Amino acid sequence: MMASSYNIKEEDGHHSGSSGPGGNAVRTKKPDNTAFKQQRLPAWQPIITAGTVLPAFFIIGLIFIPIGIGLYVTSNNIKEFEIDYTGIDISSPCFNCSQSYSWNTTTSCTCSIPFSLDQPFESNVFMYYGLSNFYQNHRRYVKSRDDSQLNGNLDSLKAPSKECEPYRINENMPIAPCGAIANSMFNDTLDLFYIDPNGTRTPIPLMKTGIAWWTDKHVKFRNPGGSSSNLTAVFYGTTKPLSWPKPVYELDTDPENNGFVNEDLIVWMRTAALPTFRKLYRIIQKKNSLTPTLPRGNYTLDIVYNYPVRSFDGRKRMILSTISWMGGKNPFLGIAYISVGSVCFFLGVVLLFIHHKYGNRNNSSDIPN
Amino acid sequence: MCIFQDCSCLGHRCTGQENWVDSRTVYIGHKVPPPGAEAYIPQRYPDNRIVSSKYTFWNFVPKNLFEQFRRIANFYFLIIFLVQLIIDTPTSPITSGLPLFFVITVTAIKQGYEDWLRHKADNAINRCPVHVVQDGKVVCKQSRKLQVGDVVLVKEDETFPCDLILLSTSRDDGTCFVTTASLDGESSHKTYYAVQDTKAFNTEKEVDTLQATIECEQPQPDLYKFVGRISIYLDRDEPIARPLGSENLLLRGATLKNTAHIYAVAIYTGMETKMALNYQSKSQKRSAVEKSMNAYLIVYLCILISKALINTVLKYVWQADPDRDEPWYNQKTETERQRHLIRAFTDFLAFMVLFNYIIPVSMYVTVEMQKFLGSYFISWDDEMFDEELGEGALVNTSDLNEELGQVEYVFTDKTGTLTENNMEFIECCVDGHVYVPHAICNGQIMPGAASMDMIDSSPGIEGKEREELFFRAVCLCHTVQVKEEETVDGIKRGLHQGRTSSIYISSSPDEVALVEGMKRLGFTYLRLKDNHMEILNREDKMERFELLEVLNFDSVRRRMSVIVRSSSGELYLFCKGADSSIFPRIVSGKVARVQEHVEHNAVEGLRTLCVAYKKLSGEDYEEVCHHLSSARLALHDRDKKLAEAYDLIERDFILLGATAVEDRLQDKAADTIESLHKAGMKVWVLTGDKMETAAATCYASKLFRRSTQILELTTKRAEEQSLHDALFELSKTVLRQQGSMSRDTFSGLSGEFQDYGLIIDGATLSAVLKPAQEGGGGNYRDIFLEICRSCSAVLCCRMAPLQKAQIVKLIKASKEHPITLAIGDGANDVSMILEAHVGIGIMGKEGRQAARNSDYAVPKFKHLKKMLLVHGHYYYIRISELVQYFFYKNVCFIFPQFLYQFFCGFSQQPLYDTAYLTLYNISFTSLPILLYSLIEQHINADILKREPSLYRDIAKNSLLQWPVFIYWTFLGVFDAMVFFFGAFFLFDNTTFTSNGQMFGNWTFGTLVFTVLVFTVTLKLALDTHYWTWINHFVIWGSLLFYVIFSLLWGGIIWPFLNYQRMYYVFMQMLASGPAWLGIALLLVVSLLPDVLKKVLCRALWPTTTERMQTKRQCLTAEQSTIFMLSQTSSSISL
């Protein structure tokens, strides 16, 4: 009897003995007990409930509404004057010019449009030209340029990129600047005159620098061979874009604003996002703090009408605008801020109601479970 | 099926006729029989090579590429890439070529490596040595060179290299013992028989002289069916023909046990062995998420194509006016003008390319990475590590992680999966007195006599006698063999005790457990020697009983008997069997008390057997002998006659008592099954085991409860009724239940409703699944499915491996297409593991077959709980967010570009710069979602484990249903509209800077893009419920990275680019005040609806998960209070 039970114990002992070393040998395989591997990293576990987002809604409402009001007021304080000089209408002074247009005319057509400002423009006034229905963002158009040519690369100057086709080579000479964008550069000349009450025309000084991005003018666009050299010589062997009356090195007399670094060219080369756009043309600097930049009164806009837009139903505009810290006149931002702020505030109230009614019910019904 | 029937018919008349339809003739030892017998027809058989690999060295590249490009996504990207190469498109081919190349290469390397591993495994199997008898000598061959007809020598504990017909064994009676554990999961030893006429050939020399042919059916996968005949030419005369059945067939994969050696002839080799036929080819499993993903992909493809079509049509409508098509400022080149005809088509393709990012190649990369990296969390899991085994969970496929969260049906093997596969004698009861060996009393193991503990009052002298008779009965009534322990250990112990120790071997582990239990109660069965059974009684005296007859166990009678003659000459018939088959045959004994105990034990999930005896007089024995011999000699209906004889003999018993044996359940198996039930899964047990055993386990594992009404659909029942009637009756029962249930729910009574459990066995199942014959039978399949669906648990017993797969397939193909999971540990489970959507292997005792072929392997059944409820749930949440978010962010990304086409003359002008187009998916928005999809935990793992019902929240792929998808898509479209029109109105014909200078189209795009990146990232931040430092790092880091990248990208004139369109664009934008205000506004507007939806849904229609989340928050808030309260209460109680 004794032996029998002893036998059993022995067996048990034997068993545990054999499994022991086996267990030890493989214990190295045991996965590391690190928080990451066990998915037990300490964590913040937020839950979006009516209760937690309520304050956010109210805060957004409280912040957005004043900002919106501020923006709206600012936008309303901005003076903007716009004049369409396309000359579609027979009564328009530019009607003739717009009709007589043909590609090869060397003689320029001029017209002048009188207008009056009801309010004085106080600070710096920015003069834009605006085009409508002009697809500067067309893919074929956008890519039709050679940035390395414009950056003064001599190789590209002589052998422009294929992207410029069909504005790449004319009469076996490379076009500088090549491409559709450069070729279609806006070439109307706009001049502004103040008509004194006594009838004299005072020309308003228009600044043609400072209209392009500083980086564009000084880094992205460069004349080949550096700024010092003789542009005529540098551009020798190239030809002007087809629709330009003069070559690129005769865009301006000021050497700092000539050739590829001409700011009108640079501004034009920054393709607009939408088919209706405006581009900065000139800046009217504030003279002193006493007189407004553009006082109330009558003005004339003299246009050298070169740029054809009628073929594609385009429009040309001249815009005078002051600028605030938030840009030009745009009521959208202010209105949007006010409405989003109010919606948030309203939702906050709704949520408060829901939270009060349902939040408690959920919690109270759950906890006893 | 048809072929099989043919064969079985032929089996019946196998002694004569020659019209064998589909058979093979095997010449043993390749010896041609004497001329005239039969014409020698050489047949070609495959060699014994096992091939599981998919590729060879040569076909890897083409085959793999072909298979990869069969994936719809890969093919799509290939097309896009080719289009970009061929035509002039807005974006460069590199943007799609590079990621595609990356994806293809990574996948190819991974698959190549896996196949290399398979090659290695195949080689190991194919090269292992095999002993073959050639010219009277034993030659060692590589396994793969084995051919049909070779005579093979197999030694003890070796595995059979192919399917063999047993010729002779080292044992005199021509039997051998085999364990088929790795085939069908039954670890017990089974007896196989050599043909009587060949069993004498048991040396190499003798075997070599044997001349015989074997005719048998062509290979078929059923493990238990084999029909053939052997013709032995003993004296060059008329051959002796003998039938061959499955008892002569040794299967590849089984192991020889307790027999020194055998000689056998190979009949099925290589891929034709039954084992190989039972392995289904490992097909690529696709998860439900992947299927949804593909569906979404097609939707987006349609969106993409319609977008491109709309734009192409509008483009041509718009540019019908030549001044728009080609205004003076924007002339076409000559070539552009010429290609008018195909122009429209290339335009369409160009739009396709422009919008192709809506189906991002990076989604596939991210999903693959998420799956691959995410699967590490499974193998790293500490809780799924088994100390005893020294192994943790194993991930073989990472493709199915999320499928673990979608399981609706769990098919589990029983032996080794639910149970430990380890029988233990628990107690016995003699006339109502309970004996528990090795009982623990007051925490002390009682030595000596008390190793048997009597719970009831001690019986009298008469009782003592009956008790000893009972013990003797149990000791004698079995078919256990004894194997002498030969190990060093054994000898040592033998010396200790003065007697050799031994181990018991039997085809039934219960018997072993019983005999071992008796040993512990003092009666030791020693051996069967010269037809005498020797037992050692309590007084250490040897008792010898002459074994006269054994009435073998069969599953119909469910009992077995022995007739023995004691040394004093008395004749006894001892019988043991299931209570149901013993009690009706009892004439005396304390039936009521024993029955009470039996029932009590059955409730506890113990396997009970009743023991009875009767004394036989000399005449009785004569009669018995007469009955038996006449039945055994019968040529027709031998089985039936035997059964009748047994029935006559086994009656008028005196009840002795009952035994209880436990196949111990695996740790926490019941808890796991309960959780799975609560999680809404249906659990089916598929086992090769017999019904009673399996049912007991099911009760023990709480698969069936006491309240469960059991529906039986077994051979026995099918014999009584026709299958048809049985099925209809069951379905009626079930349907009635359903009817009353629905009535209850209508009347608002949620009373106790009956839940059903179904038990079905393999034979009935195959009858049910048989395709409907000649109209009348109708389709049983549907009725069966209907019944199954209303049962909370189903037990299928006596299943062949392929039948297990069939069941899985049947459920898979049913109306709802539920997601199935199969879990098992043996090679017999492999086919089901491969068939199910998710196959899980248990690293069990029965080899690693299952673990190797599974998608995931865990050490124990209980790990399934964490695998499904926690990992599965997390992975599903993660990947569904990943998929939805990816589509969302690309709608946000591409839709503005689509809108922009309306404002740029449909010219395919991209809104964003190339760098942004390429990097958006690759770097700006990729890491946060990847990280989210790796570590998001919307709710704590502990809660998921504690509340299995949360699993129901994600059932049926709920997060990837169409409404959810449409919500995300609309959110994407809304956000895209906000970005685009917000920027549009900010830019529209006004100055956006404070210095009066103007912005161009690239600034417009950059503004949209900046808002886009921030919105999309913050949207993810809002969805994140688990903010670790890594999340903070990645989310804020990727936003920072975007800003830094943009500053850098615009800060330098990049010499290798032929355009400098982005130069200073980003800086200029940031320099303007309104841009900041605009970005803030658009961000708020685009995030607002999602936040609102979240808050409202949570407040008004919270899901269980959301309630748990809220609850947890409240709890953490109140924890301090509770703690304080408990402190107070404890101080009060003190």
What are the pLDDT digits (tens) for B999-1011?
Answer: 999 999 999 999 9
Percent of chain B with pLDDT strictly greater than 90:
18
Residue B42 has pLDDT above 90, yes or no: no
Which residues, 6+ apart, have CB-to-CB distance to A145 below 8 Å?
A163, A164, A177, A178, A179, A180, A181, A182, A269, B1059
Average pLDDT over residues B900-909: 92
Residue B688: how many CA atoms within 13 Å on its side-chain side? 27
CB contact under 8 A, A274 and B903: yes
Report d(CA B845, CA B853) in Å as an integer: 16
Same domain, A340 and A307: no
pLDDT category of residue B15 using cuts at 50, 70 and 90: very low
Average pLDDT over residues B272-288: 72
The answer to the question of residue A282 being in a domain is yes
Q: List, for residues B332-391, the tens digit of each pLDDT value.
A: 887 777 766 678 888 898 898 889 888 877 787 788 889 888 888 998 888 888 888 788
Backbone angles phi, psi at A333, to 5 degrees: -60, -45
Q: Is B179 annotated in some ligand binding site?
A: no
Q: List, for residues B969-1005, the tens digit of each pLDDT value.
A: 999 999 999 999 999 998 887 888 888 899 999 999 9
Average pLDDT over residues B1057-1083: 90
B1104 interfaces chain A, CB cutoff of 8 Å: no
Same domain, A121 and A213: yes
Q: Averaging pLDDT over each range in A242-256, B406-420, B1013-1027, B1097-1111, which range is the top one?
A: B1013-1027
Name the residue among B232, B652, B658, B587 with its Cα closest to residue B429.
B658
Report d(CA B234, CA B33) in Å as an integer: 11
Q: Which of residues 716-735 of B touch A (CB under 8 A)?
A: none
Would you state the pLDDT for residue B182? 64
- Letter for the amino acid at A364? S
Report d(CA B590, CA B657) in Å as an integer: 8
Average pLDDT over residues B771-787: 67
Would you state the pLDDT for residue B36? 53
- Mean model confidence pLDDT for chain B: 80
Q: Is A224 exposed, middle or buried (0-12, 13-18, 19+ CB in 10 A)?
A: buried
Same domain, A150 and A210: yes
Q: List, for residues B684-738, the tens digit of each pLDDT value.
A: 998 877 677 788 788 878 888 877 888 888 776 666 667 777 777 777 777 766 6
The answer to the question of residue A43 being in a domain is no
Report d(CA B160, CA B96) in Å as an integer: 54
Average pLDDT over residues B739-760: 57
Which chain B residues are within 8 Å of A3, Cβ to Cβ?
497-498
- Higher per-residue confidence, A290 vs B817: B817
The answer to the question of residue A365 being in a domain is no
Report d(CA B806, CA B46) in Å as an integer: 27
B998 interfaces chain A, CB cutoff of 8 Å: yes
Would you state the pLDDT for residue B440? 39
Same domain, A164 and A89: yes
Same domain, A348 and A254: no
pLDDT category of residue A9 using cuts at 50, 70 and 90: very low
- What residues form DSSP beta bridges with B178? B190, B256
Q: Which of residues 249-308 of A touch B (CB under 8 A)?
A: 267, 270-280, 283, 308
Residue B594 has pLDDT above 60, yes or no: yes
Q: Is B413 a catalytic residue?
A: yes
Q: List, for residues B624-645, the tens digit of each pLDDT value.
A: 888 887 877 665 666 778 888 8
CB contact under 8 A, B1001 and A272: yes
Name the residue among B752, B593, B742, B588 with its Cα closest to residue B658.
B593
Percent of chain A with pLDDT strictly greater than 70:
86
B375 interfaces chain A, CB cutoff of 8 Å: no
Chain A to chain B Cβ contacts (< 8 Å): 324
Enter the DSSP assignment of B666: P
The answer to the question of residue A83 being in a domain is yes
Q: Which of residues 40-79 of B touch A (CB under 8 A)?
A: none
Would you state the pLDDT for residue B584? 85
Q: Averaging pLDDT over each range in A223-232, B283-292, B400-409, B712-721, which range is the top one?
A: B400-409
- Higher per-residue confidence, A186 vs B600: A186
CB contact under 8 A, A166 and B331: yes
Report d(CA A110, CA A94) in Å as an integer: 8
CB contact under 8 A, B493 and A10: yes
Residue A185 has pLDDT above 60, yes or no: yes
Would you state the pLDDT for residue B237? 66
Q: Which of residues 432-491 of B touch A (CB under 8 A)?
A: 438, 447-449, 451, 489
Which chain B residues are within 8 Å of A169, Cβ to Cβ?
none
Same domain, A215 and A91: yes
CB contact under 8 A, B1081 and A134: no
Name the residue among B232, B166, B244 with its Cα closest to residue B199.
B166
Range in A297-311, B235-249, B678-692 with the lowest mean pLDDT: B235-249
Q: Are B148 and B188 in contact (CB under 8 A)?
A: no
pLDDT category of residue B38 using cuts at 50, 70 and 90: low
Report d(CA B524, CA B517) in Å as an integer: 9
Q: Is B957 annotated in some ligand binding site?
A: no
Model ipTM value: 0.91
- Is the peptide bond between B360 and the residue preceding it cis, with omega within 30 degrees of 0? no
Residue B445 has pLDDT above 80, yes or no: no
CB contact under 8 A, A23 and B388: yes
Same domain, A136 and A27: no
Same domain, A308 and A167: yes
Would you state the pLDDT for residue B37? 52
Torsional sign, CA B559, B562, B563, B568 = negative
A99 interfaces chain B, CB cutoff of 8 Å: no
Which residues, 6+ apart, have CB-to-CB distance to B937 below 8 Å?
A39, A43, A45, B874, B1025, B1026
Average pLDDT over residues B105-133: 85
B412 in helix, strand or coil?
strand
- Letter for the amino acid at A138? H
Q: Which of residues 1023-1062 of B touch A (CB under 8 A)?
A: 1025-1031, 1053, 1058-1061
Helix (H) or strand (E) holding B58: none
* Helical residues (DSSP H) of B237-273, grouped into ranges: none
Same domain, A351 and A246: no
The answer to the question of residue A314 being in a domain is yes
Report d(CA B201, CA B372) in Å as an integer: 57
Q: Averaging pLDDT over each range in A317-321, B150-154, B529-533, which range is the top one?
A: A317-321
Report d(CA B460, CA B79) in Å as an integer: 92
Nearest chain A residue to B497 by CA: give it: A3
Would you state the pLDDT for residue A138? 92
Same domain, A20 and A129: no
**Distance set, CA A198 to CA A297, A364, A368, B566 (Å):** 11, 84, 91, 151
Structure tokens of B52? 């599981």
Which chain A residues are within 8 Å of B448, Cβ to Cβ?
1-2, 5
B532 in helix, strand or coil?
strand
Average pLDDT over residues B514-537: 82
Mutant choice from A7, A62, A316, A367 vs B, greatest count of B C-beta within 10 A: A7
Average pLDDT over residues A294-306: 91
Would you state the pLDDT for residue B16? 37
Q: Is B569 annotated in some ligand binding site?
A: no
Structure tokens of B809? 């397939």
Which chain A residues are within 8 Å of B905, Cβ to Cβ?
135, 137-138, 275
Q: List, for residues B485-500, the tens digit of each pLDDT value.
A: 544 443 434 334 444 4
- Higher per-residue confidence, B453 vs B1068: B1068
Which residue among B328, B334, B448 sits closest to A1, beta carbon to beta carbon?
Answer: B448
Q: List, for residues B560-577, the tens digit of each pLDDT value.
A: 888 888 888 888 899 988
Would you state the pLDDT for residue B1115? 62
pLDDT category of residue B282 using cuts at 50, 70 and 90: low
Same domain, A200 and A169: yes
Question: Strand B571-577 vs strand B394-395: parallel, antiparallel, or unpaired?
Answer: unpaired
pLDDT category of residue A115 using cuts at 50, 70 and 90: very high
Percent of chain B with pLDDT strictly greater than 70:
84
Q: Are B226 and B246 in contact (CB under 8 A)?
A: yes
pLDDT category of residue B124 using cuts at 50, 70 and 90: confident
Would you state the pLDDT for residue B1069? 92
For residue A296, the tally of other CB atoms under 10 A from its CB is 11
Same domain, A108 and A132: yes
CB contact under 8 A, A220 and B1092: no
Name the residue among A46, A356, A52 with its Cα closest to residue B1112.
A46
Residue B911 has pLDDT above 90, yes or no: yes
**How many Å from the N-terminal Cα to the C-terminal Cα in chain A?**
57
The number of distinct structural domains making up chain A is 3
pLDDT category of residue B40 using cuts at 50, 70 and 90: low
Name the residue among A302, A304, A244 with its Cα closest to residue A97.
A304
Would you state the pLDDT for residue A60? 93
Q: How far is A172 from chain B (nearest CA, A)?
A: 16
The answer to the question of residue A59 being in a domain is yes
CB contact under 8 A, A277 and B1068: no
**Which is catalytic among the residues B163, B347, B381, B413?**
B413
Which residue among B935, B1026, B1099 sits closest to A354, beta carbon to beta carbon?
Answer: B1099
The answer to the question of residue A366 being in a domain is no
pLDDT category of residue B4 using cuts at 50, 70 and 90: very low
Range of the domain at A57: 50-78+325-357
The answer to the question of residue A368 being in a domain is no
